[in-house]
Each structure stands twice: as C-alpha cells, then as structure tokens.
Structure 1
C-alpha cells in the first residue's frame, strides 16, 4: 500500500556535466549506481539547471524561483552574492512545516558569515557539511549543526555518504526530506588512487580528467550504498530519489591539468548559458509512483522541483514559484509544460545582454559573453581559500561596486535546439522577426527579475 507521504532524497552534485554519466552515453565512465536511478525510474533528456554556476543554481533549486529574484547572483560569498534572501521560503522550510524531518549533507554555498543564512535557519533540522563554495577532500573542515570537525583521514565524499546513511537510519520510521549535495567533482581534484587508476590505465586522458572521473566513480559507490540502505530498511518503494548536478563541467586547464572531456553533443561548459553549461543530468525514481526504465524528453527546469516534490507529498505550495508540478507529465499523463525558460549569468552586477538565453520551444536565443563581465576580481579569491582552511566564522559582508570597462554586447544568436543541439548553426539572419520578439521577451523577463531583486536587497 502506497504511503501518502513519501520520503524525498535529492542528490545535487557539483560541476558534473551531462556527459559525466554512463547513462548519458559516456563510453569510458561506468556509473552503475547512479545509472540505476534512471534505469529504475526516468532518465530526463532535456533537464536544465537555472544557472551555469553553483550558488545561483542551488538557490533556484531550493526556492523554485529564478535565482535573480531571490538575490543569488554569483559565488562570491564574501560579497553576499550567494545568499538566498531571508524573506524566501526554501523547500526545506515547507517540508519541515509539514512534519517532515529535514536534513542536508554536503556543500551549502547559499550564505556564509551570518547565521541567519545557515542551513539550520533555512529549514534544515540537521546539517552535516560545509558552507563555503569548495573544500579539500582529504584535509577538510566541516561542521555538524554549527560545530566544527577536522579531517579524520577519511575521504570527504565517503564522510558525506556515511552522514547520509546515518540520517536515513535515524529517521526511517518517519517521513524525511534529505538534500545530499556532494561537492564532487568540483575542485580541488583529489581522489583515492584506486578510483583514479582505471582511467590512467586507459592511457587516453589527462591527469585532471582521470582525477575527475575517479571522483565521480567514488561518489557513484557511495550513492549505491545509500540506495542499498533504502532497500535494507524497506524504504525504496516510497522514496522519491532525484539526481542532478548544479551546472555543466569545467573544461579548463592546460596540459595534464586540462579537464576537457566528453559532454554529449553540447557546446559550452560551466559559466556558459550554452547547452553544455545548463543542460544537466536528471534522473528520478519513485517505484510507487513513476514508470520504470523510460526516458522523458520534455523540457524541465530546476524551478519545477520544489512544486513537484511538495505536491507529490500532498503539501500545498503557499509561495510563488517560477516552476510547476511536472509529476503528471512524468507519470505519462497529458500535461502542457512551460515552453519558455530564461537564463543569465555574469559576475557582479547583472547585464541582460551578456551570457543570457531564452528557450521558446525548439528555439533558443543566445546573447554571447562579454568577457570583461565574466572575470572574477582577484581580491575575491583569498576569502574563498580562507574558508577552506578554518571553521566558518562570522563577519560583516559588503558588496562594493566593481569598476570595470566592458566591451559592447555582441549580436544575439538564434539556434534550433531540436535540430542543432551543438548550437553550431546561427539562424539569426534568417529569422529576424523571431529574434526581435525573443529579444524583447528576454529583456522583459530580465527587467522583472532584477526589479524584484532590487526590492529585497
């Protein structure tokens, strides 16, 4: 008999591209346990993050709203640009208010240096992880509900796996929402040698790719252990397991440090609103409520998961979102999904004609990057490094204006994603009316989300 209140486990990995899984066609990376989620549920072929960079993507996932609306623009925690506005409700807030045990394991990166932004104050009863945008995998410092813990010699991914298993075991007799945000395969690139060796022996990858694949291999093992824990306690049938990544892969570095690797048929990477930066893995399993072993080709977006998961648990959504409950579509019922989605990212003050995109059905309008607007200030790097080396600390956070001279925006480009997923054939000159209309719609969206952000900050 199906319980009325299923459990939820949401995996959100870090810098893992669409092509970083066997189920999405990687010929060299075997990920049997992660793939199992899709093989026993649905593999989503057109699943989009809300941003091509970490903190904004996570903010949208947690609130069901475009990241600009909630104030999370970029990753510079020392400037507060990763924060979710305090007036926003997170998915954890709503699950907690409706009687769920709520837990988070892993990387937060949605507000540091002020306890009002801490996961324990954003709906999570329990938190085991770190608040910063990154952490060392061997010489780590994490915390348990605000209490720091230094490395005990274990690999950090293994620590998070064990913390997740222990949460499940503590709450196996009550409904729970567990957000598992592994920081793998985000840098620094560190992995146990036994997980790296198989890729070294293939003699076809740089050291950086071998390490990246080793990190994913180790994470895959841990996810298998978590899925086995659900089986052991009779929880698998009524637990919704969602798996995704915050953004596309990093394809940077020279020589042996070059991370460029398979990413399906897509161009671009992390930071880009090209498909390679925003189309991410999406796997969902719910034996009691979803088909098994199927693919779903409709366009889905991070903002859909908050309304979808809450409604699946019988919880009425009391806050506005930019997404919708897509469970009926996933269950095979006729449902009209949104055909229009929007993205924009640059560093510091947002620029609507820089690295911005709009999907309208099969069509995609793309404003190219303005390179000067994509650069991170060198002065913003030391605070990140410090947070890898010391426990979380409180301090005043300021976001002074960034003075920079920007090149003029390029011309918008138009692609038919159904026919040209690699975004090679720019059809803007052949479709001037469509370009004009989509430019206006993207501009209207950008003005609206920015107006809302300015009202709250």
Structure 2
C-alpha cells in the first residue's frame, strides 16, 4: 500500500513537473544582465582644485576660478572622494593603474621615455646617486630587467569579453619597448598613445607637433585627418574615442574606454572655444589658457556623458574620473610658483599634498547614491582590483602582487545618504609613496623622498638630508606645522611602518655619494640619533 501510494505520489509529482516544464517553455528565457561598460577618464596634471567641484568642506577661490559644469554633473550623479591620491609624477601613477602595484614595488618611480636610460637630471645630483629604476616602464612579457613584468588590467578585461579602447596619453613604457604600445597591453584599439608623456602641440593648425624637426618623439601620432584644421587635441581625442566605441554599443559586448587626455600637461596652449571669457575676467594670459584647457577637458567629459545618454547605455556604464598627479606649480604657470594649489602645499613633483592629492569622481548607476562625498582615502593602485570587481571577474590570475584594495565597499556602504559626507571607516590603512629620483624643477617637497599616510597622520622622509616631517592633515591640510619634535612616539610608529613597507617590497634607495652607502631607512636614522643622544 505504501509502495503504491509512493508511486502514485511520484506519478503526480512527475505530472506536475512535466506541466511546469511545459508552461516554463512558453515563458521567455531570462536574459542575463550584461556586464557594465567601464570608462576611466584620466586627466594629466590636474590639481585638486582645478575644477568648480569642491573636494574640501568648502569652496575655494580656485574652485570659483574654473568652470567645469560636466564634472559638477558627474558629481551630482555619483560620489566625490575628497582624499584621493596618485603619485607625484605621471608614469608611476599610470603603471600603478595598469598593474595594481604600489610604485615602490613596481619601481617605475619616475617618468619614462628613453630605453635603458636614467633621466638627464638624475645623472649629476650633487649628493645622491640614484638607483637604476625600471626606466623602461611596464612590460607584458618577461626578459627586460629594467621593466616591471605584470598582467595589465586591459588584458584581463579583454579576456573577459570587453572591447578595450585606449585614447590619448599612454606613457607606460620607453621608446622601443613592448610597453610603449597600448596594443601590447590588452587594448584592441589605440588612439594617439605612444611613449611620450606630452604633446608637442595641442593644435591641429600645428599638426599636433608633427613635422617639427627634432621634436619627433613628442609629436602626437595617428591623427592625420585632423592635421591643418583649427581644432584642439582634447576635442579630437573625444571624437575618436566615441567613434571607436560606436562599433559595439548596439551589441551585448561591454567596452572599457581608457580616456586619457594629454590635457592639462604642458605646453599650456589655449582652447579657442573657451579662452576668451577667462581673458575678459582679467586672468593672467597663461592662466587663462590653462583654464580653457580645463574647460575643454570638461567638455570632453560632457560629450561622452551625452553620448551614453543618447545611446541609452548610461545606466549600464560606470565612469571613474581621476588625475595622474597634483597640479603643476613649480614652473610654466602664470603667477608665483608653488602657489597654484593653496591651501595644499607645492604641486606636481612634490610629496606634499599639492603634488599627490587629486580630484576623483565615481558614477555607478543603481549601485551608489548620487551627490555624495567620501572622506575615505584611496590611492591609484586601488583602481585595478576595483575595476576587476566592477566587471564581475570572480577569478583572476596575475603574475604580480596586487597592492591595491578594492574601494567597491566604500561605494556600496548602506549608510551613505545623498548629500551626506561618508565618514572614514575605523580600520586605518597606510598609504605609501616612494620617489628615489630627481624630477628637475625646484620647489617645496620636490626631491627624493618616501612617505606614509596613516589615518590623519602623514610622515615624510627626505633622502638627501635625512630630514623627517610629520603632519596632522585633518588639522593642517597645508602641511605648515611640522610636529616631529612634539610627537616622537608617532614619528617612531610611522617610521617603522614606512621602513617595513620599503623592505617588504624591496624598494630601491639612492646611494649617498659621500659615504658610498645606501641611504638609511628612517628607523635606522632614528636609532642612530637615539644612540648619539644617549652617549
């Protein structure tokens, strides 16, 4: 009886199952949600305040000088990070973005150009002999002892099905190396990217520098159809980027667009669409040109956002906005040098906040609350694991150690409310900078150094004279009050944290020309001073 019942139940269940399958077959199949498109919008040399979007608790005079309505639009749609960091110069930032590694580990610690060669200003320093850092940049293949071998971010995305487009400044590898060409790093399309980190000219009327004898390495490649025309490079790059992704927007294939403007790097050349109004405001002519380049970059951002809306893909497109280092101030600007980022100290090339703190915006429709701010600090190597997570890549294998931490959790925090600053998490994570190099121009904080930020505290160690500085950035954003003498315990703590990091990643240190020995780690200097004081 039990068996019959069992069989009958089995028969009834089977009938129900068959009916369910039949009805289910009549229903449309669930369409898997497409992967998000991802745009990294990278600006060159843009300072923390080179925008009408405030990245502080209040508007600054610089915020009031510039007009960036599309950055305002992006900020209204997403989240602004008020304490976002890059490195002090360009190539280290770009290699960190593409590898997820801290500069001390990947050793591309200065800007790259000529194969196998230190920069000229590094060869004759009066007191320091600089290490042979990875002057050839990054490489997707082994075999170059002066390049960092790594699995590039676009390669991972391309292998996951993304259509990968590079537009603008590359500056990943030296002339004649694999890293020179973005196509070797996983990009399917390369628009105007090569080894040089600046254009010879932004102007189509000057052929973007092509044809100038002796300037061939700086001429922007591949834009022949725009040569001779009255058009600015920022506009050209935007046209070409949108043309490239237009081929896939009607398909299910997601795209990764690395929109890397040459602007606002030198040469500071006017964007004729915007410069006149800044001149009429009485702005210094160089600064008016600079402001017009800022607005031209912003127009590019707006054109891209308009395109996404017109194609009805804006809701499935993530935009990450960043600058590769702090604003230029030591040279080539109008007005007094080293003042263009106040209240931040100094500018590009400096370990002070003016050289490393940058504007950062993120828009992720449906995932993060619009019009929010976050005081959590992040650094450029965090973009690699973040984008991997955003793209939904669950398992990835890389040949390099990833130093960056995904900031997706900071975007997704449930407590974020529109317009309310997102307070830092309790867990305190150190951030590191390492520059055993010489940049060239002079200015506060410019020179060989290492630094760590942990919580509100920032500790700096200068290699040439072994000078140490300590600042509380929440109380002293301008780094005006060196607290080394008053906060010896904090100095000891952060010197140990920094030293441990440098040793762990096998960071290169300069050689002292007088002693012939490697520059000491900061804890060694502190120990030596302690011994001397006891004697």
Q: Using structure 1 for the length normalisation, give the TM-score.
A: 0.83
Which residue of 2 is the match for residue 409 of structure 1? 466
Q: How does 1:36-435 map to 2 (within 5 A)?
A: 36-49=73-86, 51-78=87-114, 79=117, 81=135, 83-86=137-140, 87-117=149-179, 118-131=181-194, 132-135=196-199, 136-138=201-203, 139=206, 140=208, 141-144=219-222, 151-153=227-229, 154-172=231-249, 173=251, 174-203=253-282, 205-253=283-331, 256=334, 262-263=340-341, 265-316=343-394, 317-319=396-398, 320-333=401-414, 339-347=429-437, 354-368=448-462, 407-410=464-467, 412-435=468-491
1:245 CA drift (Å): 0.3
Q: Deviations over 1:104-152 (max 9, x none)?
A: 00001111322521100011110001321110101314335xx977734
Q: Is the 8 A contact 1:242 1:284 kept in 2?
A: yes
Q: Deviations over 1:205-252 (max 9, x none)?
A: 322211111101111112111110000111110100010100011113
Q: Is the 8 A contact 1:208 1:259 kept in 2?
A: no
1:62 CA drift (Å): 1.4
* Rounded Cα–Cα distance in structure 1 between residues aligned with 2:90 and 2:273: 28
Out of 34, 37, 40, the residue aligned to residue 10 of structure 1 is: 40
Q: Is the 8 A contact 1:60 1:67 kept in 2?
A: yes
Q: Is the 8 A contact 2:470 2:483 kept in 1?
A: yes
Q: Which has the higher contact order (CA 8 A, sep 6+)?
A: 1
* Deviation larger for 18-27 or 338-347: 338-347
Which residue of 2 is the match for residue 399 of structure 1? none
Q: Using structure 2 for the length normalisation, give the TM-score.
A: 0.72
1:184 CA drift (Å): 0.6
1:188 CA drift (Å): 0.4
Q: How many residues align?
A: 409
Distance 1:323 1:425, change over 3 A: same
1:82 CA drift (Å): 5.5
* Rounded Cα–Cα distance in structure 2 between residues aligned with 1:441 and 1:107: 34
* Deviation larger for 155-164 or 444-453: 444-453
1:452 CA drift (Å): 8.8
Which residue of 1 is the match for residue 506 of structure 2? 450
Distance 1:111 1:187, change over 3 A: same
* Rounded Cα–Cα distance in structure 1 between residues aligned with 2:265 and 2:339: 14
Q: Is the 8 A contact 1:4 1:313 kept in 2?
A: no
* Deviation larger for 99-108 or 148-157: 148-157
* Rounded Cα–Cα distance in structure 1 between residues aligned with 2:338 and 2:507: 37
* Rounded Cα–Cα distance in structure 1 between residues aligned with 2:484 and 2:336: 33
* Rounded Cα–Cα distance in structure 1 between residues aligned with 2:410 and 2:150: 27
Q: Is the 8 A contact 1:243 1:282 kept in 2?
A: yes
* Rounded Cα–Cα distance in structure 2 between residues aligned with 1:197 and 1:282: 28
* Rounded Cα–Cα distance in structure 2 between residues aligned with 1:69 and 1:427: 29
CA RMSD of aligned residues (A): 2.6
* Rounded Cα–Cα distance in structure 1 between residues aligned with 2:321 and 2:349: 21
* Rounded Cα–Cα distance in structure 2 between residues aligned with 1:441 and 1:287: 38
Q: Deviations over 1:364-419 (max 9, x none)?
A: 10124x6xxxxxxxxxxxxxxxxxxxxxxxxxxxxxxxxxxxx5322x11111111
Distance 1:257 1:77, change over 3 A: farther
Q: Is the 8 A contact 1:20 1:262 kept in 2?
A: no
* Deviation larger for 210-219 or 259-268: 259-268
SS at match of 1:159: helix
1:69 CA drift (Å): 2.1
Q: Deviations over 1:25-69 (max 9, x none)?
A: 3012110012211111001111111x1000011111111111232
**Structure 2 unaligned blocks of 5 or more:** 1-30, 118-133, 141-148, 209-218, 416-424, 440-446, 510-535
Q: Deviations over 1:65-102 (max 9, x none)?
A: 11232231211411262611432011101101111000
* Rounded Cα–Cα distance in structure 2 between residues aligned with 1:189 and 1:341: 32
**Structure 1 unaligned blocks of 5 or more:** 371-406
* Rounded Cα–Cα distance in structure 1 between residues aligned with 2:376 and 2:311: 34
Larger C-alpha radius of gyration, 1 or 2? 2
